[in-house]
Structure 1
Amino acid sequence: MSGLDELDRPGTPGGPDPRPDTGAVPDGRGTGGPRRGAADPVKALMHRHRQLCERAVDPLEIAAGLEAHGVTDRTAARFRHRDVFSLAEEMYARVSRDGDAPPPAAPAEPPPPRRRSWALLALAPGVLCAGTVTGVRLTDGRTCLLVAAAGVLAVALAVHAALRRGPLSGPRRDHPGLQRTEAWTWWLLGYAVLGDGLLRAAVHGGPDVLPDGRADGPWPLSAVPLVTLTLSCAPAAWSAHFLAVRARRRLNSSRALEEFAAGVQPLLLAAFALYLGALTGLAALGALALDEPADYAPVLTLGALLFLARLLTVHGFAHAPAVVIAAVGAAEALAPATVFAGRLPGCGFLATPVESLMAAWGPAGVPSLLCASAALILLVYATRTLTRASAHVRTDQPC
């Protein structure tokens, strides 16, 4: 913004001339020809954003890029335009006519027809996970271990494929921090399966001692969260598709940044509500099919956290989700650690928060509280970032 501030300040080189301009000045609709006179602030702005203007396929992408650099409708008024969209229209119209700007590159080959293969990819993780759980329950011994190992590998590959194509596709793996985010995400899913049993065992004496005092009982597992969350990849993809398509339409019809933000915010909340509704139904069906208690709180809060984190990552805001997911993962790892540390002499106070939370809400209260707080933070952040025009610039990924 510092460069734009200098450009907008009267009396600086390339800034708007405080004296009346006697040359030809467009009427503010963004369709006039090049400005003449002592100063041409739009040409200077085009020079600063030369690559943006050359790559843009329509004025909307220039408007989104300007907004990402901090240009507002108030800033556009200093360039004698009513809003950023009008300013972008003039920049798009002039980029091929200014002598100091090279002609735009030759149009590329038309994109191939859009395919809906991502819909099938989004269904694959849930189907494979449900098949793996069924296979594990029908086998035992070494066969059970082999089925479980093969199923985990298949589900991991299916999730990876679903996140590389379609509405849920985001930055490549070499994106800074993305691999750490994926590692913490798998930790959260693992805790959803094993964490409640680990925390309950820790409070009642240790990982080898069950609440009834037996030391040779099976380790308690919960398959419903994992099956539900993998099945929810499909509604997550459709909700992200819903938001992307309708936000793009809103971008085509909006004439001001405030108007676009006001129209996209309900779409964002609707996409989030659609996903939560589908996730609730899947949790109920999963509990019924697997004959396990339906514990909605940890599943819904974790699903909401992962959906919002992925939605932000898809639209280019990967740092905040990475920090939040890492914080939740570390806190979940710290919960049983504090219980064990509380058994040391004079350290009983360390286990008090976790034991109090378990006494009130059970072992599921710890991940539910952590994920709900993190999801709320990301939801507030998403309403401030995903309502920007720059978050919905056209990409090469089909929606």
Structure 2
Amino acid sequence: MHRHRELCERAVDPLEIAAGLEAHGVTDRTAARFRHRDVFSLAEELYARVPRDGGNRPSTAAVAPGARADWAVLTLLPGALCFASLTALRLTHGQTRLLAAAAGVLATALALRAALRRGPLSTGDHPSTAPRRSTAAFWTCWLVGYALLGDGLLDAAITGGPDGLPTGAAGGDWPLTAAPVLALALACTPAAWAAHLFSARARRRLVSSRGLEDFAASVRPVLLGTFALFLCALAALLALSAALLDEPFAPSRTLALGALLFLARLLTVHGFTHAPKVILTATVTAQAAALATVFAARLPGCDPLAAPVDTLATAWGPGAVPTLICGAAALTLLIHASRTLTRASAHTRPERPR
């Protein structure tokens, strides 16, 4: 009680104490030393014996009546503005097209920022997490930019180009692929609902569980189920985007990137910012290195540098490179999430980043 008095005084229910004890390394075996069957039982006694602080925070289970409508509408804006921007690009030419592209990128970015600052995808405004969030945002922009430009650039580089500027999906030496970007923008809505569903179901499991292992075992299927649900929604949105923009339907690379970004955001929302930052950095580095080796192979005596990327792109297409890189990164984050997001301490508002 003395060691964890501050935690007990600010807690709004025994569940928050149990999560805090777990975050400090208290296990069911530790609780047995205090004659309790598990951490939850120990937390109930601490909650009963320590007087509450007069300025308690509202319970994390309580949700304002209008909050869901607010963030549900905000998550629709990035996809709508992205589609409007792509439509404007197809209807304009010359300098007007450049202005439309700049305005579309700015509007979509601002809408995405607003969507990520409210609702289930919000990470809060803790100052110590701001540098990591900024780094993750920068790498996310790179990954989305590569989804738009990278495949065309890599294909042109392998064949000896590019000889000109990107000209769009209709043709040219360096074609753009806009369908993945539109699908990812539209996927903000299912991502928010999937994150909300996971948090709500995990909170219910926290109420009904009587041990840390029991809670982890019950939450792991929920995590995998919501992750699969998001991927299904993203695949449907990608098919719709490809049909609207008249582009080939290539789901593997977009699903791999979408899975990576969703898991990174889900971990960040629950306070785990280090792993997403490291994985996103490694993913961007690998994609940049793949492009760099193709161009470096043009130097005298450097032909072998491009052999791995050239072989993979020749056999499976240029989209195989980001698919392999993002797929491996997403799998790594999924394994990490299955270990961290199944902890009770992951489902309370942390006081400091982890």
The aligned amino acid for 2:26 is V
Q: Shift of residue 395 of structure 1?
A: 7.7
Q: Provide closer, same or farther for how the CA distance between residues 235 and 178 of structure 1 changes in structure 2, counting only shifts above 3 A.
A: same
Q: Are 1:63 and 2:4 matched, yes or no?
A: no
Identity over aligned residues, as a percent?
64
Among 44, 53, 60, the residue aligned to 1:104: 53
Q: Shift of residue 209 of structure 1?
A: 6.6
Among 157, 180, 191, the residue aligned to 1:236: 191
Counterpart residue number, 1:31? none
Asked if the contact 1:61/1:394 (under 8 Å) is kept, the reply is: no
State the aligned residue count: 340
Asked if the contact 2:164/2:174 (under 8 Å) is kept, the reply is: no
Asked if the contact 2:156/2:173 (under 8 Å) is kept, the reply is: no
The aligned amino acid for 1:347 is C
Instruction: Give the alignment of 1:178-217 within 5 angstroms.
Output: 178-208=133-163, 217=172
The aligned amino acid for 1:95 is V
Q: Shift of residue 342 of structure 1?
A: 1.2
Q: Which 5+ residue runs of structure 1 have no aligned equivalent? A: 1-45, 97-102, 211-215
Q: Are 1:360 and 2:309 matched, yes or no?
A: no
Q: Determine helix, strand or coil for the equivalent of 1:363.
A: coil
Asked if the contact 2:162/2:173 (under 8 Å) is kept, the reply is: no
The aligned amino acid for 2:203 is R
Among 134, 137, 145, the residue aligned to 2:87: 134
Q: Determine helix, strand or coil for the equivalent of 2:75.
A: helix
Q: Provide closer, same or farther for how the CA distance between residues 114 and 75 of structure 1 changes in structure 2, counting only shifts above 3 A.
A: farther
Instruction: Give the alignment of 1:324-343 within 5 angstroms.
Output: 324-343=279-298
Among 32, 49, 54, the residue aligned to 1:94: 49
Q: Which 5+ residue runs of structure 2 have no aligned equivalent? A: 166-170
Counterpart residue number, 1:280? 235
Counterpart residue number, 1:26? none
The aligned amino acid for 2:3 is R
String of CA shifts for 1:133-154, please: whole Å, max 9, x gaps. Answer: 0111011111111111111000
String of CA shifts for 1:258-287, please: whole Å, max 9, x gaps. Answer: 111111001001100110000010011111
The 2-side partners of 1:107 and 1:352 are apart by 62
Q: Provide closer, same or farther for how the CA distance between residues 205 and 65 of structure 1 changes in structure 2, counting only shifts above 3 A.
A: same
The 1-side partners of 2:237 and 2:58 are apart by 42
Counterpart residue number, 2:28? 73
The aligned amino acid for 1:334 is A
Q: Provide closer, same or farther for how the CA distance between residues 329 and 90 of structure 1 changes in structure 2, counting only shifts above 3 A.
A: same
Q: Shift of residue 359 of structure 1?
A: 1.0
Q: Provide closer, same or farther for how the CA distance between residues 277 and 220 of structure 1 changes in structure 2, counting only shifts above 3 A.
A: same
Q: Give the structure with higher Rg (CA).
A: 1
Among 172, 175, 199, the residue aligned to 2:125: 172
The 2-side partners of 1:132 and 1:173 are apart by 33
Q: Shift of residue 172 of structure 1?
A: 3.1
Q: Provide closer, same or farther for how the CA distance between residues 140 and 122 of structure 1 changes in structure 2, counting only shifts above 3 A.
A: same
Q: Are 1:248 and 2:203 matched, yes or no?
A: yes
Aligned residues: CA RMSD: 1.9
Runs (4+) of structure 1 exceeding 4 A deviation are 107-112
Instruction: Give the alignment of 1:26-45 within 5 angstroms.
Output: none
Structure having the larger proportion of residues in helix: 2
The aligned amino acid for 1:104 is D
The aligned amino acid for 2:67 is R
Counterpart residue number, 1:266? 221
Among 278, 299, 302, the residue aligned to 1:347: 302
Counterpart residue number, 2:112? 159
Counterpart residue number, 1:227? 182
Counterpart residue number, 2:96? 143
Counterpart residue number, 1:115? 67
The 2-side partners of 1:168 and 1:106 are apart by 27
Q: Shift of residue 344 of structure 1?
A: 1.6
The normalised TM-score by structure 1 is 0.82
The 1-side partners of 2:269 and 2:315 are apart by 37
Counterpart residue number, 1:316? 271
The 2-side partners of 1:273 and 1:217 are apart by 36
